[in-house]
Structure 1
Amino acid sequence: MTTTGRFFCADAARTRGDSIVGTAPHGSAWVLIEYRGGWPVNGFDGLDLEAGTRALVFAAARAARARVLLMRRHGRRSPEGPPCWAVLRYGRTGAHRQHWGTWGRDEDLAQIAQALGTPGEQALGTPGEPGGRPVVLVCAHGLHDACCAVRGRPVARALSERRPDLVWECTHVGGDRFAANVVVVPDGVYYGNLDAGSAVTVVEEHLAGRIHAEHLRGYTDLFPPQQAAVAAVLDRFGPAGRHDYAVARTFRDGDGWQIRVTGPPPGPAAVDVEVRARRTPQRQLTCRGPATSSAVVYDAVSVRPG
């Protein structure tokens, strides 16, 4: 996908063969706010909301280390009823929790702070309902980065046709050059370099409990070297469920890491992965940012059954 005379970061990244492994931002909680109007370049922070409510939600999200994303159905179709919001929390054993509500006035969004645990109060131990269906987010924030719209919207269309109740377009999730980006929450799994066809396959496999290494950016409960280790195990031994593999230990070893990943049969009970980090040359990494910068790449240099 190219357009003559204009720089597109995702085109450039694919031409270079940029690695997507280990690029999922760390986090285990998400705030989703359905917003059917135009999205500001900086998402929630740029909304013209009642100042006190916006500050309350922002402070609660920051205290809970939650990412705040705006979302809408593909095509900006307007479902019946008021827009919704959600607080989604990842559970390490798969015991995710979800808290959903609706809003009509700006002040209604104060419920989000209550669901997160209001700043200054002890965070709620087990907020929201357990379980629930996953939410599939497709970054289509074109005002933030052109590639998110050019590549994201066809993916959102294809997934919405297949899973209309699960799929939402959302604001910036990070990694513009890996568009189209899809995030499954509260599983906390990032996928990148998708198109309409591969996105349908990846999401259907994910929902069936089979996560593949191809297109996997990482798991958000893990740090980048650990994400790279799990991806290497999936690449070597085949797809697995979200919680089939666990990082049992991580040791820093000079400029790299020794990481043990444990899993169920029929694969090995433990796999030792050596991960090394390297920096890329200075490059333009986003459509909107003409300045060049370097990225860190995490390479699994050895994968050995323990």
Structure 2
Amino acid sequence: MTALNTARPNPVRCSDTGVEPLPGTAKTGDRFVLLEHPGAWSRDVLDGDTFAPEFTGRLKKHLKASGMGLQLIRKPGREGRQITGHTVYLVFSDQQVMERLVLDSVEQIMDLDLSAPGQNDAEFGARPVAHPVLLICTHAKRDVCCALKGRPLAAELVADFPSDYVWESSHTKGHRFAPSMMLMPWNYSFGQLNREATTDMLMAAQKGEFFLPGNRGRGTVDARSQVVELAVAGHLISRGETVGLSGFQVDGTQVRLPDGRVFEVEVSQEDVDGVISSCGDAPKVAKSWVATAVTLSS
């Protein structure tokens, strides 16, 4: 006789544990299409349930050909459900460039040239964006924490900033750090920030300044490099320096600054017990990169 599985899902919300270091957990990617889509978002927006399966297949190929990731976006509240056109941002995080355009239909994405900035000016009126864009994950079908913590924050912030600065977003990775967010065009991820801290972060970004609290890393580099870069940024900020969002060059455990200084960072990989990846999951042991020392090498 087969025994019944009577185990109950873990009732603890994944974002309430707070045991895992944030550095090194950013969603990786160099380029993104941010597409305004007011309809329902399925668990994976490219699983064939958000868009028709045939179109989803073509869209996947189109994005893959240019190395683009896809984030669905919408404005909070009723405004986000009542649109006359689809706002699109083309984000080239590797070049720290972002463009904005408006499409009449989602299907027109297939007509966009995603190879590089400046390719969609004439036909689609793409224009450079000079301000930061903050994506706050509200993807409830991926994890309920994003609905509980992301939606209220997004609704609060849209009252504080100009239109197009703050958007709800599909999965930004790291719902265990909810509210989870991505700062474009640099692709820095943040987590566990309240309204006041998020406001400070976005205001710093407008000035091109680095914001350390809640910073999970820059997604254009791998997890270890994210930790290395954040360690150097934290070291400089602790010494009273103003650090810019641009200019870090990470090579292994070395970071070169625009002024020519080079820092060496010692890192180790450590076990972290009690990590709940998603709501309902059992706690597990995860690996995290940790910076243990920062020294000026040249």
Q: TM-score range by the shorter chain?
A: 0.7 to 0.9
SS at match of 1:277: strand
Residue 247 of structure 2 is matched in structure 1 by 244
Equivalent in 118, 125, 146 of residue 148 of structure 1: 146
Over 3 Å counting, the alpha-carbon distance change for 1:107 and 1:214 in structure 2 is closer
Greater CA drift, 294-303 or 125-134: 125-134
Over 3 Å counting, the alpha-carbon distance change for 1:84 and 1:130 in structure 2 is closer
Give the TM-score of the pair, scaled to structure 2: 0.83
Query: Following TM superposition, by how much is the alpha carbon of 1:159 offset from its aligned partner in structure 2, in angstroms?
Result: 1.9
| Amino acid aligned to 1:219 | R
Query: Following TM superposition, by how much is the alpha carbon of 1:130 offset from its aligned partner in structure 2, in angstroms?
Result: 7.2
Give the conservation status (yes or no) of the 8 Å contact 2:176–2:276: no
- Alpha-carbon distance between aligned partners in 2 of 1:198 and 1:97, rounded to the nearest angstrom: 24
- The runs of 5 or more residues in structure 1 that have no matched partner are 117-122, 251-258
Over 3 Å counting, the alpha-carbon distance change for 1:202 and 1:223 in structure 2 is same
The 5 Å alignment of 1:238-277 reads: 238=237, 239-247=242-250, 249-250=251-252, 259-264=253-258, 269-277=261-269
- Alpha-carbon distance between aligned partners in 2 of 1:97 and 1:197, rounded to the nearest angstrom: 26
Give the conservation status (yes or no) of the 8 Å contact 1:190–1:217: yes
Residue 108 of structure 1 is matched in structure 2 by 108
- Alpha-carbon distance between aligned partners in 2 of 1:65 and 1:292, rounded to the nearest angstrom: 34
- Give aligned-pair identity as a percent: 23
| Amino acid aligned to 2:198 | A
Residue 221 of structure 1 is matched in structure 2 by 220
- Alpha-carbon distance between aligned partners in 2 of 1:34 and 1:125, rounded to the nearest angstrom: 19
Query: Following TM superposition, by how much is the alpha carbon of 1:23 offset from its aligned partner in structure 2, in angstroms?
Result: 0.7
Root mean square deviation of aligned Cα? 2.4
Residue 65 of structure 1 is matched in structure 2 by 67
SS at match of 1:244: coil
SS at match of 2:154: helix
Residue 123 of structure 2 is matched in structure 1 by none
- Alpha-carbon distance between aligned partners in 2 of 1:299 and 1:126, rounded to the nearest angstrom: 39
1:21 pairs with 2:23: yes
Equivalent in 36, 40, 54 of residue 56 of structure 2: 54
- The runs of 5 or more residues in structure 2 that have no matched partner are 1-9, 121-125
Over 3 Å counting, the alpha-carbon distance change for 1:170 and 1:48 in structure 2 is closer
Query: Following TM superposition, by how much is the alpha carbon of 1:125 offset from its aligned partner in structure 2, in angstroms?
Result: 7.7
Over 3 Å counting, the alpha-carbon distance change for 1:125 and 1:108 in structure 2 is closer
Greater CA drift, 141-150 or 42-51: 42-51
Residue 15 of structure 2 is matched in structure 1 by 10
| Amino acid aligned to 1:8 | R
- Alpha-carbon distance between aligned partners in 2 of 1:69 and 1:37, rounded to the nearest angstrom: 14
| Amino acid aligned to 2:24 | G
Q: Which has the higher contact order (CA 8 A, sep 6+)?
A: 2
Query: How many residue pairs align between the two structures?
Result: 276
SS at match of 2:89: strand
Give the TM-score of the pair, scaled to structure 1: 0.81
- Alpha-carbon distance between aligned partners in 1 of 2:220 and 2:26, rounded to the nearest angstrom: 9
